Amino acid sequence: MSARRQTGADRAPMRSIDVVSATTLADLLRQMSHTSTQGRALGCAFELLERMVDDPRVTIFMGAAGSLAAAGQALILRWFVDRGFVDVLVATGANISEDLVEALGLRMIRRPPDMDDRSLRDAGYNRLYDVCVTERDYIRMTEVIADFMSTRGVGGIVSAAAARGVPIFSPALLDSAYGDAALLTHRRGLTFTIDAVQDHVEFMSVDVDETAAVYLGGGVPKDFIQTFAVSTDFLRGVPDVLRRRGARRRGTLERVSCAHKYSVQITADAPQWGGSSGASLAEGVSWGKQAPGPLAVDCYCDLTIALPFLAHALAQAHPRRRANRNFGLDYNGSRLGPTSSRGGLHGP
């Protein structure tokens, strides 16, 4: 970039962190945004999240990869939903099932990651890096799902989303305890079909204008949310998508994309391996997934470090609940116009 094209932000001086004046986590992260490397990225991620939640035009998509519950982050994910900081949640099956272990009054147990796995197996434990859950408790969680008990009474992420009218999409749902639950119900004589195509159609039909994306990890949830920016015209047609703010035609092709206005990515993966989880947000500009410009932040950091910092800082800086968009989806897939949510019950 030439000197003449540099912005004022590009020429801003680095500033050292003042321990005395940073009295809250929000203060600290704002100061970190003026430093360097991933501390700066984390601070910038916080400032961009603030812009997202303050922008009344945007619909916030959150992608949650891996199993946040196994890392002690499930209540934080639920907090984002409860506070209205998520409008649409795209999650792995693990993220909307394994939080039930704690919600049911069961527990995951901290263990050293180098503990002998054969001993754990013989004692009836399943290991997730440095925590374990007994096979008995994991089966109990699976049976809750198989019995189709309402998770609203258990206090999980799904119940929080139902209470706030936040739709959840899980493109790889069966790669989790839900898959085992489906096998249990099949053995009991109750057969059903999860229609992945209809789920995809419903996801691409979500009525929005401008969008923002928060990627907690990468994987399928990240790619699914990015696809929303570039594939809705296949379903809704070019003229319909062109009505959205920020829509752009794809060269001379009869295609149109509507890139996410804001994006924050927290990942421990790296871009040079070529996978989606580590790919920079800038890479998505060429596809039309991400709007060009400064409203995208890649933070290469352990999510179990970054997420608590970001959530607690947001709680300090934005104590009032955001009125999330309520799409009015019911169990049969019927759709009402989006409204702001006041906490009524929606969904199954």
Q: Which residues are catalytic?
A: 289
Give Cα 285 distance to the centre of its chain: 20
Q: Which amino acid is at 247?
A: A
Helix (H) or strand (E) holding 299: strand 296-300
Helix (H) or strand (E) holding 102: helix 99-103
Please list the helix, strand and coil fractions of the chain in percent, rounded to the nearest 5, in that order: 40, 15, 45
d(CA 181, CA 329): 24
* Backbone φ and ψ of 17, nearest 5°: -75, 130
Residues 6+ positions from 336 with CB-CB distance below 8 Å: 327, 328
d(CA 104, CA 154): 6
Nearest to 89 by CA among 54, 68, 66, 60: 60
